[in-house]
Amino acid sequence: MLSAHDTIRDLGGIARGTHLQTLGFTRQHLADQVKRGTIQRVRPGVFAIPSLADDIRSAIAHGGALSCVSVLRSHGIWVLPDETGPHVWLGPSQHALAHPHCRCISHYYGGTPVPGAASIERALLHLRRCAGDEAFFAAYESAWRIGKLSRAARDRIRAALPRVARWLVDLARPDADSGLESLLRLRLHLLGIRIGCQVTIVGVGRVDFVIAGRIILEADGEENHGSSDKRHRDRVRDTAASRLGYETLRFDYAQIVHDWPTVQAAILGAMRRVRPAAARA
Ligand SMILES: [Zn+2]
Ligand SMILES: [Zn+2]
């Protein structure tokens, strides 16, 4: 028979005491194992292995499950930064806990949280309520891109969204290179600007967006454009693009996330330069 530790590990790192008892572990045995430190009692009736992620342990100790930003980030999904503590799903009926020194973000959304971490689907739906349409859209595209959302999962998310929000998943694509690109595309869409996405230009390569057939927009994430090598490559591309009659605008994370009005003004200014008549219309 497996030890209590290995059994809980195989169950995903967390298990209810009642479930463990059906597998043959007595209450006394579990209590002994807690004393010896091989397993932990996270809250009454819920046991975990010591290596369980801290934020999941914290969510369970709160009486809920980890969800939202915290779950998505743990799966490597791009989420607008949020320097706060774990996002905990408590369900609709729990009372707010008094935990003055805790940095958790509590969500009293519908459904029954099972101790542990919520699914990616559930976490995405929670993120929209917690952080809004843009955060949802960028995380949804990121999850899709890295293969974490099946067709069936996307359909379920769409069905679970309020009708007024379904256009977000209809607009989403699986080929956005970064969350910044997702944000940029969503915002340009809301401005009614028609764009080509992931366009290959002979002599330049693949660019993030093309507007009006003349303006190239690139969203430069830190991870992709930080090194001097990459900067050099970007300049070579921009030079090649200029030769072909394109104007390239590059925006980084801080600009897109924290200074959107300036970015928007720059894009509209470029559009006026390349087609003055159309922009006035
Ligand atoms: Zn808390
Ligand atoms: Zn949240």
Q: Ligand 1 mean position to 135 CA, how many Å?
A: 23
Q: Ligand 1 mean position to 236 CA, how many Å?
A: 50
Specify the number of domains making up the chain.
2
Query: Could you tell me if 121 and 180 lie in one domain?
Result: no
Is 54 inside any structural domain?
Answer: yes
**Amino acid 223: pLDDT:** 60
Query: Could you tell me if 19 and 116 lie in one domain?
Result: yes
Q: Ligand 2 mean position to 143 CA, how many Å?
A: 17
pLDDT tens per residue across span 110-155: 999 988 999 999 999 999 999 999 999 999 999 999 999 999 999 9
Classify 68 in phi/psi space as left (phi over 0), alpha (psi -120 to 50) or beta.
left
Report every protein residue that has its C-beta within 5 angstroms of ion ligand 2: 68, 87, 130
Is 241 inside any structural domain?
Answer: yes
- What CATH number is given to the structural domain containing 218? 3.40.960.10
Residue 266 has which token pair?
Answer: 């720059």
Mean pLDDT of the chain: 90
Q: Residue 58: which domain range?
A: 4-125
Is 120 inside any structural domain?
Answer: yes
Q: What is the largest CA-CA distance in the chain?
A: 81
Is 144 inside any structural domain?
Answer: no
Domain end among 125, 140, 164? 125
HSE-up of 91 (CA within 13 Å, CB side)?
13
Spatial separation of the C-alpha atoms in residues 90 and 150, rounded to whole Å? 27
Q: Ligand 2 mean position to 230 CA, how many Å?
A: 35
Contact call for residues 215 and 196 (beta carbons, < 8 A) = no
How confident is residue 211, by pLDDT bands cut at 50, 70 and 90? very high
Spatial separation of the C-alpha atoms in residues 182 and 61, rounded to whole Å? 35
Spatial separation of the C-alpha atoms in residues 227 and 218, rounded to whole Å? 16
**Amino acid 281: pLDDT:** 45
Q: Ligand 2 mean position to 125 CA, how many Å?
A: 10
User: Which ligand minimizes its atom distance to the CA of 82?
Assistant: 2
Q: Ligand 2 mean position to 8 CA, how many Å?
A: 27
Q: Which residue has the higher pLDDT, 150 or 229?
A: 150
Lowest mean pLDDT among 128-137, 224-233, 252-261: 224-233
Query: Could you tell me if 192 and 110 lie in one domain?
Result: no
Q: Ligand 1 mean position to 9 CA, how many Å?
A: 25
Q: What is the number of other CB atoms lying within 10 angstroms of the CB of residue 44?
A: 6
- Report H helices in the chain: 4-10, 17-22, 27-36, 54-61, 68-74, 120-131, 133-145, 151-160, 166-171, 179-190, 222-225, 228-243, 253-258, 260-274, 276-280
Is 275 inside any structural domain?
Answer: yes
Is 157 inside any structural domain?
Answer: no
Task: For 249-281, give one letter per residue: b (16+ CB within 10 A) or e.
Answer: bebbbebbbeeeeebeeebeebbeebbeeeeee
Is 57 inside any structural domain?
Answer: yes
Question: CA 51 → CA 13, 14, 48, 175, distances in Å?
Answer: 8, 10, 8, 35
**Amino acid 226: pLDDT:** 60
Q: Ligand 1 mean position to 240 CA, how many Å?
A: 53
Q: Ligand 1 mean position to 103 CA, how many Å?
A: 6
Q: What is the β-pairing status of strands 14-16 and 46-48?
A: antiparallel
**Amino acid 69: pLDDT:** 95
**Which DSSP letter does residue 73 get?**
H
**Amino acid 221: pLDDT:** 75
**Three-state secondary-structure class, residue 18:** helix
**Amino acid 277: pLDDT:** 52
